[in-house]
Amino acid sequence: MSSAADMEMRVDPPHSANPATTGIAVCLGTWCADATVEQLTPILKLLQAALGSRTASVIVAYPATNPQADAWQHEGFSMQPYAFDGNKPSLNTTTAASYRNMQDVMQTYKTSCGILLGAEAQTLHPDALRGMVDAVLDRNADVALPRYSVGSNEALINAALLYPLSRAIFGVKACFPFALDQVLSVRAAERMAVAAGQAAKASGGDAFVWPTAEAAAAGFIVAEITAGTRIFPIQPNTDLSLVLNLLGSSLFSEIEAKASFWQRTRPLQAMLSLDVVPAQHVTTEPVSSDEVAEMIESFRIAHGNLQEIWSLVLPPQTLLGLKRLSRMPNESFSMPDALWVRILYDFVLAYRLRTINRGHLLGTLTPLYLAWVASHILAAQTTDATNPPESLARAFEADKPYLVSRWRWPDRFNP
Amino acid sequence: MFSQVKYALIDSFGRVLTKLAVFLPGVLALLLAVVILALLGAALSAGARSLLLRMRFDERVSERNSAGLSDWAPSHSPSLLISRLIFWACVVLGLVIGVSAYDAAGTSDLTPFILPYLAHSVGALLILIGGTIFARYISRSVLISAVNAKLNYARALSLGVKWLVLIFTAAMVLDHLEIGGNIVEIGFGILFGGMVLALALAFGLGSRDIVARSIERTADRATPMDQASERSSESVRYVRHF
């Protein structure tokens, strides 16, 4: 298995437009472990609607705890169970194990592309899935990601952290870098599987792989396809701190591992953007003022109690910004983009330098994130901003030199 | 009479000099053992450090174990931690050998007491260091968890937990050094028990409303369907983080 540094430096040549086979492997995650025919039928209907004549060459792999489970045929699909040890991950999303399972299936059946589908995938628009598969099979893309239409109150961790950091640091503009549904080419699947193996060694059961980071480092072509609305699965674990800890630590580790890649000045990676499903303006129920007030109060409690820890991580200017923020009245509570950018970049640096225990570090990020959420919700009530917000992503890009200089010379400033 | 005084003084002086002459080789042996082992430890520590740096040990540990050894190591360098452990292990070994050499010099009625007490002192020091580190870690964990649980008294809770652990550590250290005997045991029991009772009262009385709301929610969920309209309304949350 290649080392992380070797993987980072290797840039694969473009793959041929005409793969030897046209088989498609669909890999379903642990959310459908030991699924019955009735439970799989909605997914199969989606695949039929999306893949049309390609259905005959589709292998659908799903997890099964019974190691003796046999393959079977259903409505033209070849159903292939793969071994599953019964341990479900903490988050209902695509984990490192999903990529390895998909790679195993693709290698076994020599398919030319792989589809990863998350829970509630039956609510995905068939045209979106077809667009993603066409991007990989016909238009030479290596990684096809959906762009979901979400309301201003949804996918907030993606809006606050995952999208802007991925875009600014790895140069990939995909709005959902950690999408539930993905289509990968053969070489992309191989690369993700190797990365998944390394991530699983470091983090165990809850390891994640970042397809945009891997694609950027390898010089793969990324395609983004508009996918309309989709229902997101309910998470088994509703503890926000735990969710932020899992996602934040994984992304920060990825940033640390690929430091030599993103520190070089590069333009934003060209991305294939396809408008397949018209973008929809999603209206959600307005967030109650009580809920917003609760988030602001959570931030104020943290501001009163975590100064000692924040001062180890954040510079005085940022602490002053937080102090001003804590004194704002609820109605005009607003966290400037520049402040949030600096907070995240300082946390990335502190994660790398191990200024404090990493679990503690990410625990102290939760109230700051809630302050951003409260500010974002209040702003969305008066303006018609997109989700994820474009202005925030540009602010992250503009301040990237700060991250680079502090990464290279950490001792130049020590809070 | 003056000659008797003179002989007594000369005799006493002679005994002191004799004792000193017998005592000094032992001390010299002790110092020599400590110095030699310390020099050996420094050499081994430098060798181990350069070997581990050549093997890129720090990078391999942080790749495989993102939270663990590196968090505890000084300057987050596991190779530095290992080299310092080697050095101090040699110093402690030198001390042990030196005390044995001191004993072999045939000097002392104190040796049966010094060596065990020295061992206990080293143990007590390790307990103190470990307890202090643990107290800081646990208090920070409690502080962060309490803040994320929106508890206003997070800092007080964290300080309380920290002092509990420190007092527990201090009692263990004193017990290990066999200082104070029953007074320490009883005093610790009273103090520790009092602190735990105070924390339990503070937490229980302070969280009455939270517990009551939680019980109310559980009872509401158990309400039969035909009485659903009588359920107290729980605010619906429209924010989806992930």
User: What would the pLDDT profile of B119-176 be if each residue is shown by its tens digit?
Assistant: 788 889 999 999 999 999 999 999 999 999 888 889 988 998 999 899 889 989 998 8
% residues pLDDT > 70 (chain A): 92
Interface check A156 vs B, CB under 8 A: yes
Strands A77-83 and A72-74: antiparallel
Residue A381 backbone class (left: φ over 0; alpha: ψ -120 to 50; beta: rest): alpha
Give the confidence band of B47 by pLDDT, cuts at 50, 70, 90.
very high
Task: Name the strand (E) or helix (H) holding A396.
Answer: helix A390-398
Residue B63: predicted pLDDT:
62
**A247-255 average pLDDT score:** 93
The length of chain B in residues reads 242
Average pLDDT, chain A: 86
* Interchain proximity A202–B242, CB inside 8 Å: no
Residue A167 near residue A393, CB atoms below 8 Å: yes
Query: How high is the pLDDT of residue B235?
Result: 52
| The predicted structure's pLDDT at residue B225 | 46
In whole angstroms, what is the distance from residue A94 CA to residue A101 CA?
Answer: 11
Summarize pLDDT for A321-340 with one digit per residue, the tens: 999 999 999 999 999 999 99
Interface membership of A231 toward B (CB under 8 Å): no
CA-to-CA separations, B224 to A250, B4, B215, B228, in angstroms, rounded:
44, 110, 16, 7
CA atoms of A362 and A306, how far apart (whole Å):
13
Q: Check residue B64 and give its pLDDT.
A: 59
A66-75, A128-137, B47-56: range with lowest mean pLDDT:
A66-75
Residue B113's SS3 state is helix
Element (H, E) at A81: strand A77-83
| Contact present, A117 and A29 (Cβ < 8 Å) | yes
Closest CA to A124 of A142, A99, A149: A149
Name the least confident of A103-112, A214-223, B225-234: B225-234
| Average pLDDT of span A81-102 | 81
A39 touches chain B (CB under 8 A): no
Inspect the interface and report whether the beta carbons of B238 and A285 lie closer than 8 Å: yes
B70 Cβ under 8 Å from any chain A Cβ: yes
Q: Please tell me the predicted confidence (pLDDT) of residue B200.
A: 84
Contact call for residues A213 and A258 (beta carbons, < 8 A): yes
Instruction: Report helix, strand or coil for A74.
Output: strand
In which band, very low, low, confident or very high, does the pLDDT at B118 lie, cut at 50, 70 and 90? confident
Spatial CA neighbour of A253 closest among A209, A188, A187, A190: A209
Amino acid at A134: D
**Phi, psi values for residue A258, rounded to 5°:** -105, 30
Residue A159 DSSP code = I
Looking at the complex, does the CB of residue B60 fall below 8 Å from at least one CB of chain A? Answer: no
> Per-residue pLDDT for B36 more than 80?
yes
The Cα of B77 is separated from the nearest Cα of chain A by a number of Å equal to 10
Mean pLDDT for the stretch of residues A109-134: 91
3-state secondary structure of A211: helix
Nearest CA-CA distance, residue A51 and chain B, Å: 29
State how far the Cα of A315 lies from the Cα of A413, in Å rounded to an integer: 8
Instruction: Assess B152–A contact: CB distance below 8 Å, yes or no.
Output: yes
The SS3 call for residue A303 is helix
Q: Say which residue, A256 or B208, is predicted with more confidence.
A: A256
Residues of B in contact with A153 (CB under 8 A): 238-240
Give the bridge partners for A381, in sequence order. Answer: none
Arithmetic mean of pLDDT over chain B:
80
Q: In one letter, which amino acid is A301?
A: I
What is the distance between the alpha carbons of residues A374 and A292, in angstroms, rounded to a whole number?
5
Alpha helix locations (H) across A166-284? Answer: 186-203, 211-218, 240-257, 259-262
Over residues A60-64, the mean pLDDT reads 87
A307 or A72, which is more confident: A307
pLDDT at A239 over 80: yes
Question: Does any CB of chain B come closer than 8 Å to the CB of residue A91?
Answer: yes
What contacts A238, CB < 8 A, 6 or more positions away?
none
Distance in angstroms (rounded) separating the CA atoms of residues B75 and B34: 27
The pLDDT score that the predictor gives to residue A213 is 94
Residues of chain A with Cβ-Cβ distance to B236 below 8 Å are 285
A52-61, A286-295, B96-105: which has the minimum mean pLDDT?
B96-105
Query: Which residues make Cβ contacts (< 8 Å) with residue A372, sequence separation at least 6?
Result: A160, A335, A340
Name the percent of chain B lying above pLDDT 90.
20
Min Cα distance A185 → chain B (Å) is 27
A263 to chain B, any CB pair closer than 8 A? The answer is no
Contact A232 B240 (CB under 8 A): yes
Measured between CB atoms, which of B64, B141, B240 is closest to A201? B64
Residue among B60, B80, B147 with most chain A CBs within 10 A, to mutate: B147
Instruction: Look at residue B44 and tell me whether its pLDDT is greater than 50.
Output: yes
Q: Does A152 touch chain B (CB under 8 A)?
A: no
For the segment A153-166, what is each residue's pLDDT rounded down to a tens digit?
889 999 999 999 99
Q: Does A288 touch chain B (CB under 8 A)?
A: yes
In this complex, is the C-beta atom of A366 within 8 Å of any C-beta atom belonging to chain B?
yes
ipTM exceeds 0.85, yes or no:
no
Q: Which of A281-290, A298-307, B119-128, B133-142 has the lowest mean pLDDT?
A: A281-290
- Say if the Cβ atoms of B66 and A367 lie within 8 Å: no
DSSP-derived 3-state class of residue A286? coil
Q: Give the Cα-Cα-Cα angle A273, A279, A284 (nearest 5 degrees).
A: 135
| Residue that wins the pLDDT comparison between A414 and A176 | A176
pLDDT digits (tens, 9 = 90+) for A3-52: 444 444 344 444 443 344 568 999 988 888 777 888 888 888 998 899 88
Q: Edge-to-edge strands of the sheet including A77-83? A: A72-74, A77-83, A58-64, A24-28, A113-117, A182-185, A143-148, A222-228, A271-274
Tokens at B190, concatenated: 């009273």
Put simply, the answer to whether A305 touches B237 (Cβ < 8 Å) is no
Q: What is the DSSP letter of B152?
A: T
The answer, yes or no, to whether residue B232 has pLDDT greater than 60, is no
pLDDT surpasses 80 at A66: no
Question: How high is the pLDDT of residue B229?
Answer: 46
Question: ∠B84-B86-B91 over CA atoms, to 5°?
Answer: 95
pLDDT value for A20: 42
A270 falls in which pLDDT band (50, 70, 90)? confident
Q: What is the mean pLDDT of residues A176-201?
A: 92
- Which residues on B lie below 8 Å from A155 (Cβ)? 240, 242
Residue B64 at interface with chain A, using a CB cutoff of 8 Å: yes
Please tell me the distance from the alpha carbon of residue B35 to that of residue B52, in angstroms, as a whole number: 25
More confident residue, A301 or B99: A301
Span A83-91, average pLDDT: 74
Region of A277 please: left (phi>0), alpha (psi -120 to 50) or beta. Answer: beta
Average pLDDT of span A52-77: 81
Taking residues A52-75, what's their average pLDDT? Answer: 81
Lowest mean pLDDT among B12-16, B125-129, B184-188: B184-188
Write the residue in B64, B147, B236 that is nearest to A302 by C-beta. B147
Q: Are B44 and B90 in contact (CB under 8 A)?
A: yes
